[in-house]
Chains A and B, each alone.
Chain A
Amino acid sequence: AQSVTQPDIHITVSEGASLELRCNYSYGATPYLFWYVQSPGQGLQLLLKYFSGDTLVQGIKGFEAEFKRSQSSFNLRKPSVHWSDAAEYFCAVADSSYKLIFGSGTRLLVRP
């Protein structure tokens, strides 16, 4: 069965520092992968997605993610974090019927 693991429940970084959020997936075929962000009391907003092609994907708000098939990973990165990036981040994989399976989320805290 497909699954997504986000090993970090919380991450705290200082404003201006770089960020990497980890995501590992389990899926037999080439996956469709997504990163969503959820601000408090809000719905989920798509940051970026990978379907095929270039394994380094650029998204909104300066985020990028790299698909590494050998490691079954799709880590999210940002070179310089802003205080407004504090939110919860969800990695997701779409299964063969295109249903999204979400990880448990990583809550990002940003120190001033």
Chain B
Amino acid sequence: DAGVIQSPRHEVTEMGQEVTLRCKPISGHDYLFWYRQTMMRGLELLIYFNNNVPIDDSGMPEDRFSAKMPNASFSTLKIQPSEPRDSAVYFCASSFLSGETQYFGPGTRLLVL
């Protein structure tokens, strides 16, 4: 299995631009998680899906952030408009069952200038 795939690996954009991060979970996994990692706040859960349905988005920082999962093999995290404080590493993770091990992708390193 290829593991969790994220793209792009690196993204540099200017403030105000739209940013879209992509994730392909491990085949057969029912849960998908989006995390953000920063020096100041560490690893934070933004949102997670079960069977393509958003279950908990309480970690999404504000309305500029949105996430979708149109099918079992693809999810996006969108920031519009982006701000410098959104600069972070964004991880996607997936798991087979609730409470089971989460497998992380390599992350997308986002820099907003």
Chain A contacts to B: CB under 8 angstroms = 32, 34, 36, 42-46, 49, 51, 90, 94, 97-105
Contact = CB atoms under 8 A, between A and B. Distances in A.
Interface residues of B, number: 20
B56 A99 contact: yes
Contact of A98 (B98, B103, B104): B98
Contact of A100 (B55, B102, B105): B102
B107 interface: yes
B48 A44 contact: no
6 contacts: A32-B99, A43-B105, A43-B106, A98-B31, A98-B99, A99-B45
A46 B101 contact: yes
Contact of A104 (B42, B102, B104, B106): B42
Interface string B86-99: 00000101000011
B113 interface: no
B43 interface: yes
Nearest to B98: A98
A44 B104 contact: yes
B106 A99 contact: no
